[in-house]
């Protein structure tokens, strides 16, 4: 009977308060709730759109920043090797080459090793060990890139220089093609070392996705193959791998995307030489290492702009690779879901 | 007998070889982790002392610590998380709660997954163009914002995943007692997904605390004690980068100590995140 005089309690905080407020207040409160509802909905929608804005912002700002360089050099920027800040002549082919070659070396090593680890984790490993080993491999992905860099520079590169590279040089010394690929002297740092470090860094990505898709293979398929008398290897080779093919390729592309864009670890061990050398043991450079090394010291708009143009190229390459990876993995999810 | 046929022997041999390779590959993968951690501890522990946490970065040739980069890293990480987490949670909320079957959600999820593994140095260039070039100087704000850009996709992804795990019957129960949708999300869905969302934030912190590339030309570096976010701010990864590549022994050993601190902070965060995630699965 005296409900109108009761203090209006915030319904949004105490759901039962609405029983005691008058009709007028009730309408007000409902109105406020409706407004809050609409506002929250639009807020979340705006945040979702922000993700698209970030991507758009990256692309627009990179294109904007690289316009001076692209105007000055045109398409020749893509295939010229010269990189001379003094005469302001820039070409991107040496860093592009370094990026592609280091990533290829990384994939050549990380793909088989990663697949074998996934095989071990899904077929051979005792149940109680699966989780700990899986976590340990994934922790490799958590170690920051700069740690790989400092470790690579002070530990891994000297080790390669003293023990591995002289061996490789003498091993392939008489074989054509390989003798060029592994021509001396052993610097320690260089394209080969950077590729090896990248291999360690992308290994966890390939392993964990391969393991997940291997585990998604229906047990009945594997059991049928075992029942026919297949060995473990034959089951993996003829049942698991074909079934998991799309997912494995998706995982590999994801790893490749990482390898292409990796910066700090490579910057430490690549040697930063703007030239294309036939030997994998020679110093080189990658797109990301060039930007990391030179951007803060770049004087002149054209120099800065050339570096941003490099960033644009890197972003386009990784975007395409990652987009393919995601499309493949999406297809896989659709299949598993349906 | 079949078991003695040459074909069978060959198949068994091939199987044995490949299985040995699988053991070998796993051993190789695990030994990398052990080797890297062992070297870090070996090189880093000797330099670990109270001075590391109480003194500024030294000029070459004298003793000092890592106080200013540690403080700079902490401040920029906290700001990045404060900016990135709400945005990421809101975006993830839209995708899981409002627009679950929207075209927009599919597009945003796709783009977000790409941003998740996009090269971080490109994000540095982006923030350089948008903030540093416009303001005319390097600044801690620019560093924090570029880290926030890395936080957003991580949080979006985990928020969406965790909200999708919340049973719809909870949502229906909340709706049936007349709770408006926004309150249903904030009171019921968020609460049910809380552990998973915290995991996402922890993973994001782990990710950005070692990030170097986006800070190189946004926050730059600072030799002195400064938490003025309008000026260049020192950060642990950038100092490690600079000191490790220097010719001075003192600086190199400080770089190792810094590397040890970062690695164990990151590993600690990811292990805590995993434990939280595992609890959610079993409960």
- pLDDT score, position B49: 86
Nearest 5°: the CA angle A253, A254, A258 is 110
Asked if residues B147 and B78 have their Cβ atoms less than 8 Å apart, the reply is no
CA distance B206 to chain A (A): 8
DSSP labels, A99-138: HHHHHHHHHHHHHHHHHHHHHIIIIIS-HHHHHHHHHHHH
Percent of chain A at pLDDT > 90 equals 60
To which H or E segment does residue B25 belong? helix B6-45
In this complex, the residue of B177, B180, B217 whose CB is nearest that of residue A37 is B180
For residue B230, pLDDT over 90 is answered with no
How much is the average pLDDT of B86-97?
95
How much is the average pLDDT of A6-27?
58
CA distance B50 to chain A (A): 22
> Which B residues, 40 through 79, put their C-beta within 8 Å of a C-beta on chain A?
40, 43
How much is the average pLDDT of A169-177?
83
Please name the residue of chain B whose CA is at the shortest distance from the CA of residue A13. Answer: B183
In this complex, the residue of B89, B94, B266 whose CB is nearest that of residue A142 is B266
- B131 in contact with A, Cβ within 8 Å: no
CA distance A117 to chain B (A): 5
ipTM entry: 0.91
Give the residue from A55, A62, A144 with the most B CB atoms within 10 Å of its CB, the best one to mutate: A144
What pLDDT, in 10s, does the model give residues B138-173? Answer: 999 999 999 999 999 999 999 999 999 999 999 999
For residue B181, pLDDT over 80 is answered with yes
Q: Which residues partner with A90 through β-bridges?
A: A83
For residue A336, pLDDT over 90 is answered with no
Whole-structure pTM value: 0.89
For residue A269, pLDDT over 90 is answered with yes
Environment class of residue A24 by beta-carbon count within 10 Å: exposed (0-12), middle (13-18) or buried (19+)?
A: exposed
On average, the pLDDT of chain A sits at: 88
What pLDDT, in 10s, does the model give residues A273-306? Answer: 888 888 888 999 999 999 999 998 888 889 999 9
- Of residues B281 and A206, more confidence is placed in A206
Please name the residue of chain B whose CA is at the shortest distance from the CA of residue A327. Answer: B110
| Torsion angle of the four alpha carbons B224, B262, B133, B154, in this order, in degrees rounded to the nearest 10 | -150
In this complex, the residue of A57, A120, A148 whose CB is nearest that of residue B23 is A120
- Split at pLDDT 50, 70, 90, the class of A188 is confident
- B130 in contact with A, Cβ within 8 Å: yes
Q: Smallest Cα–Cα separation from A202: which of A129, A243, A143, A276? A: A143
């Amino acid at each position: 009977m005296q409900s109108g005089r009761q203090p209006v309690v915030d319904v949004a905080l105490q759901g039962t308060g609405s029983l005691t407020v008058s009709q007028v207040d009730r309408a007000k409160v409902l109105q406020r709730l409706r407004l809050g509802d609409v506002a929250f909905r639009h807020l979340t929608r705006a945040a979702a759109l922000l993700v698209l804005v970030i991507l758009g912002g990256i692309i627009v700002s990179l294109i904007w920043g690289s316009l001076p360089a692209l105007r000055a050099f045109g398409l020749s920027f893509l295939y010229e090797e010269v990189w001379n800040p003094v005469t302001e002549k820039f070409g991107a082919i040496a860093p592009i080459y370094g990026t592609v070659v280091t990533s290829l070396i990384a994939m050549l090593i990380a793909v088989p090793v990663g697949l074998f680890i996934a095989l071990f984790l899904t077929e051979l490993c005792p149940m109680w060990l699966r989780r700990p080993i899986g976590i340990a491999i994934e922790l490799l992905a958590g170690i920051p890139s700069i740690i790989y860099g400092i470790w690579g520079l002070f530990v891994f590169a000297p080790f390669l220089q003293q023990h591995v590279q002289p061996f490789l040089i003498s091993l392939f010394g008489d074989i054509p093609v390989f003798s060029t690929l592994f021509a001396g002297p052993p610097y320690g740092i260089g394209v080969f070392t950077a590729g090896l470090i990248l291999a360690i860094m992308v290994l966890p990505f390939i392993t964990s996705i391969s393991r997940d898709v291997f585990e998604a293979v229906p047990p009945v398929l594997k059991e049928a193959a075992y029942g026919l008398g297949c060995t473990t290897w034959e089951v993996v080779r003829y049942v698991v791998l074909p079934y998991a093919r799309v997912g494995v390729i998706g995982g590999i592309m994801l790893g490749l995307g990482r390898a292409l864009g990796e910066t700090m670890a490579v910057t430490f061990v690549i040697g930063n030489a703007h030239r294309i050398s036939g030997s994998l043991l020679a110093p080189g450079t990658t797109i990301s290492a060039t930007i990391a090394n030179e951007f803060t010291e770049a004087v002149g708009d054209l120099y800065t702009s050339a570096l941003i143009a490099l960033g644009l190229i890197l972003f386009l390459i990784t975007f395409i690779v990652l987009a393919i990876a995601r499309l493949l993995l999406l297809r896989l999810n659709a299949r598993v879901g349906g | 007998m079949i078991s003695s046929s040459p074909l069978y022997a060959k198949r068994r041999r091939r199987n044995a070889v490949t299985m040995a390779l699988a053991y070998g590959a796993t051993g190789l993968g695990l030994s990398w982790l052990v080797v890297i951690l062992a070297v870090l501890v070996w090189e880093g522990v000797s330099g670990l002392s109270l001075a590391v946490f109480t003194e500024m970065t030294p000029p070459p040739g004298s003793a000092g610590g890592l106080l200013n980069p540690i403080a700079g890293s902490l401040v920029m990480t906290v700001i990045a998380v404060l900016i990135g987490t709400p945005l990421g949670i809101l975006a993830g909320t839209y995708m899981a709660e409002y627009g679950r079957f929207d075209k927009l959600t599919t597009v945003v999820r796709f783009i977000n997954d790409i941003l998740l593994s996009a090269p971080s140095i490109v994000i540095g260039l982006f923030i350089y163009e948008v903030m540093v070039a416009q303001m005319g100087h390097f600044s801690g704000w620019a560093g924090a914002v570029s880290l926030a850009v890395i936080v957003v996709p991580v949080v979006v992804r985990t928020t969406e995943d965790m909200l999708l795990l919340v049973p719809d019957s909870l949502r229906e129960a909340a709706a049936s007692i007349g709770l408006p949708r926004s309150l249903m999300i904030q009171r019921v869905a968020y609460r049910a997904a809380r552990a998973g969302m915290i995991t996402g934030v922890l993973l994001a912190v782990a990710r950005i605390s070692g990030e170097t590339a986006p800070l190189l030309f946004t926050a730059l570096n600072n030799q002195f004690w400064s938490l003025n976010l309008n000026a260049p701010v020192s950060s642990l990864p950038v100092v490690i980068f600079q000191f490790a590549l220097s010719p001075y022994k003192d600086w190199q050993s400080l770089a190792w100590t810094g590397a040890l601190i970062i690695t164990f902070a990151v590993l600690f965060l990811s292990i805590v995140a995993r434990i939280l995630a595992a609890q959610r699965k079993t409960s």
